[in-house]
Amino acid sequence: MDTTVPSLPHLFQQLGLPAGPEEMAAFLRDHQLPAAVRVSEAPFWNEGQRQFLREEWREDAEWAIAVDALNEALHADAAVHGPRG
């Protein structure tokens, strides 16, 4: 039985992304999204990643809090600078 508590680093691992602090910071910095783009619809995900994010968010599943944290981090620029599209 997996007892891993979903967190942002664990979500990065689940998505097949490097999960070191510097790597995560670089990914978040380099992949900022406009306010109108849902995290699960970002162009840089593959279909499996997109489906995982969509399902976990929609079903308020085990990973939903980590997906929400990812969503907020990827929209940080939009929150500060306002909607850009």
The amino acid occupying position 67 is: V
Q: How many other CB atoms are found less than 10 A from the CB of residue 2? A: 4
CATH class of this structure's domain 8-81: mainly alpha
pTM for the model: 0.85
Q: What's the whole-number mean pLDDT along residues 9-25?
A: 96
Q: What is the dihedral of CA 49, 51, 54, 59, to 10 degrees?
A: -120
* CA 38 to chain CA mean position, Å: 10
**pLDDT of 19-66, one tens digit each?**
999 999 999 999 999 999 999 999 999 999 999 999 998 888 889 999
Write out the H or E segment, with its range, that includes residue 21. Answer: helix 21-30
- pLDDT of 2 higher than 80: no
Task: Indicate the pLDDT class of residue 85, thresholds 50, 70 and 90.
Answer: very low
The amino acid occupying position 16 is: G
